[in-house]
Amino acid sequence: MHQIGKKIDSEIFHVVGNVADTLGRECYIVGGYVRDLFLNRHSKDIDFVTVGSGIEVATSVAQQFGRKAYLNVFKNFGTAQVKFRGIELEFVGARRESYRRDSRKPIVEDGTLDDDLSRRDFTINAMALCVNQNRFGELVDKYDGVGDLERGLIRTPLDPDITFSDDPLRMMRAIRFATQLEFTIFDETFDAITRNAQRIEIISKERVMDELMKIMASRRPSIGWELLSKCGLLKLIFPQLAALKGVETVNGRGHKDNFYHTLEVLDNVAAKSDNVWLRWTALLHDIAKPVTKRWDEKIGWTFHNHNFIGAKMIPRIFREMKFPLNEKMKYVQKLVELHMRPIALVEDEVTDSAVRRLLFDAGDDIDDLMLLCNADITSKNPEKVRRVLENFAIVRRKLVEIEEKDRIRNFQPPVSGEEIMEIFGLSPSREVGLIKDSIKDAILEGIIPNERDAALEYMHKTAHSMGLSPIK
């Protein structure tokens, strides 16, 4: 038995092997599960390939497991799934595939184990472990997947031009695995991605997005984005991000390359937070720099209002990317819009009212905003970095202090609109809004504390100055 065979020496695999023996079928664990055994990563989905029908094996396996097992048969696909103790076992007969140029849906025929392994995307995903009792734990590794795992290489089993042209999603998968596993894409494989990039057109946005999400959830998402840019896929799947790349120079003065700056910010955020939407915010925070870029004779390069324009660009990007258009989008929009605020704050004097306004606008997302803003400091000038970080510490201290005192984070007006209407006998009108806003502004400016009595007193003063008096 191969060393790796010991890792599958458990009841489930023996049951499957015995069932396959009884039916006279060869049966193998394949793909991601085998790869992950070598990498000591744990996966709950186990794919089996049988030579001949997989549905029969699955049906028998489900019977063996008894009442606690659930069987799902997908006749059209020739596959079946058994769910047992929170694990999903997927069975399929070995297949051979041939492709037409206009679709990633192949013509499928029954095939041998070799046919089946050779149609798989990468050598590290093309290994099989036999579960039949007389060969239990025997590794079939025709394309040296083990060697590539040791070398840290993503490589196609067959001619990469054919592999990628047949199913262009594999280009995204190559880059996703390179990012997740921190592996290198084999030169010839990468060159083929570059040559076939245009073929990504036939892949649905949703599929592309699934891969991007996995890239974003990785330890260093920048690896994926940089590869996407290098091979030419980025400008096809995400042109607005590709536009960040490059440096323009006027009179010998260039600006920083906003693509690489963005990737640095993204990795900085990823090192501190698993929140994928905060990671997307980092990726998108400067998205409007290309469209707002101007050369000014006096100041040099400017990207005026890129935070506001960027926030405005988000809904369209989300729609194009088939992202959810819900509160996640609002969160990204809000943080993109606010991403300069904490830093702008430290450049002037850090006043209490400015801190209060920041707390009011950011609400519960203040900590995420501060994390983003901190990650955005990528200057190579140590003196500048030191000064900004020092001021940042002051802002953080003030944020805590003021939040304790004034509780602005989840600001609820101490006097409601209904109350104002009742006290002054008003119907819903502009005046009610004006009074309410004046109370809010007075609190944010520190004119009055965030307390009900003070707010009521201030309300009466404001109403009086507007010529209103209470009806009782």
Residues 152-171 that bind ligand ATP (CB under 6 A): 167, 169-170
Considering the complex, state which of residue 170 and residue 339 has its C-beta at the smaller distance from ligand ATP. Answer: 170
Q: Provide the minimum distance between the beta carbon of 125 and Mg ion in the complex, in angstroms, as a whole number.
A: 9
For 301: left if phi > 0, alpha if psi spans -120 to 50, otherwise beta; the answer is beta
Residues 2-41 that bind ligand ATP (CB under 6 A): 31-32
Give the N- to C-terminal CA distance of the chain in Å, as an integer.
92
Report the residue from 5, 17, 32, 168 that binds Mg ion according to the rule CB under 5 A: 32
The two tokens of residue 61 are 């396996």
Q: Provide the minimum distance between the beta carbon of 218 and ligand ATP in the complex, in angstroms, as a whole number.
A: 11
Q: Provide the minimum distance between the beta carbon of 42 and Mg ion in the complex, in angstroms, as a whole number.
A: 12
Binding window for Mg ion (CB under 5 A); candidates: 27-35, 73-81, 141-149, 189-197: 27-35
Binding window for Mg ion (CB under 5 A); candidates: 44-52, 138-146, 196-204, 457-465: 44-52
Q: Provide the minimum distance between the beta carbon of 36 and Mg ion in the complex, in angstroms, as a whole number.
A: 8
248 near Mg ion, judged by CB under 5 A: no
Report the residue from 47, 267, 337, 431 that binds ligand ATP according to the rule CB under 6 A: 47
The two tokens of residue 149 are 């795992």
Burial environment of residue 355 by CB neighbours within 10 A (0 to 12, 13 to 18, 19 or more): buried
Report the C-alpha gap between 248 and 254 in whole angstroms: 6
285 contact choice in Mg ion, ligand ATP, none (CB below 5 to 8 Å, kind-dependent): none
Considering the complex, state which of residue 203 and residue 369 has its C-beta at the smaller distance from ligand ATP. Answer: 203
45 near Mg ion, judged by CB under 5 A: yes
Q: Provide the minimum distance between the beta carbon of 276 and Mg ion in the complex, in angstroms, as a whole number.
A: 19
| C-alpha angle 196-197-201 in degrees, rounded to nearest 5 | 110
Q: Provide the minimum distance between the beta carbon of 211 and Mg ion in the complex, in angstroms, as a whole number.
A: 13
Contacts (Cβ under 8 Å, ≥6 apart) of 384: none
Site string for ligand ATP, 264-293 (x = CB under 6 A): ------------------------------
* Nearest CA-CA partner of 101 in 212, 232, 235, 198: 198
Report the C-alpha gap between 429 and 421 in whole angstroms: 9
406 contact choice in Mg ion, ligand ATP, none (CB below 5 to 8 Å, kind-dependent): none
Q: Provide the minimum distance between the beta carbon of 326 and ligand ATP in the complex, in angstroms, as a whole number.
A: 25
Considering the complex, state which of residue 125 and residue 218 has its C-beta at the smaller distance from ligand ATP. Answer: 125
Residues 73-132 that bind ligand ATP (CB under 6 A): 120-121, 125
β-partners of residue 49 are: 28, 92
**Residues touching ligand ATP, count (CB under 6 A):** 9
Q: Provide the minimum distance between the beta carbon of 167 and ligand ATP in the complex, in angstroms, as a whole number.
A: 5
418 near Mg ion, judged by CB under 5 A: no
The two tokens of residue 33 are 């599960």
Name the DSSP letter for residue 429. S
The two tokens of residue 246 are 């490059």
Considering the complex, state which of residue 35 and residue 199 has its C-beta at the smaller distance from Mg ion. Answer: 35
Q: Provide the minimum distance between the beta carbon of 128 and Mg ion in the complex, in angstroms, as a whole number.
A: 15
Which run of H or E residues covers position 140?
A: strand 139-140
The two tokens of residue 6 are 């010991």
Burial environment of residue 77 by CB neighbours within 10 A (0 to 12, 13 to 18, 19 or more): exposed
Q: Tokens 């990628």, residue? A: 164
Burial environment of residue 240 by CB neighbours within 10 A (0 to 12, 13 to 18, 19 or more): middle
Considering the complex, state which of residue 120 and residue 289 has its C-beta at the smaller distance from ligand ATP. Answer: 120
Residue 246: other Cβ atoms inside 10 A: 13
Binding site for ligand ATP (CB under 6 A): 31-32, 47, 120-121, 125, 167, 169-170
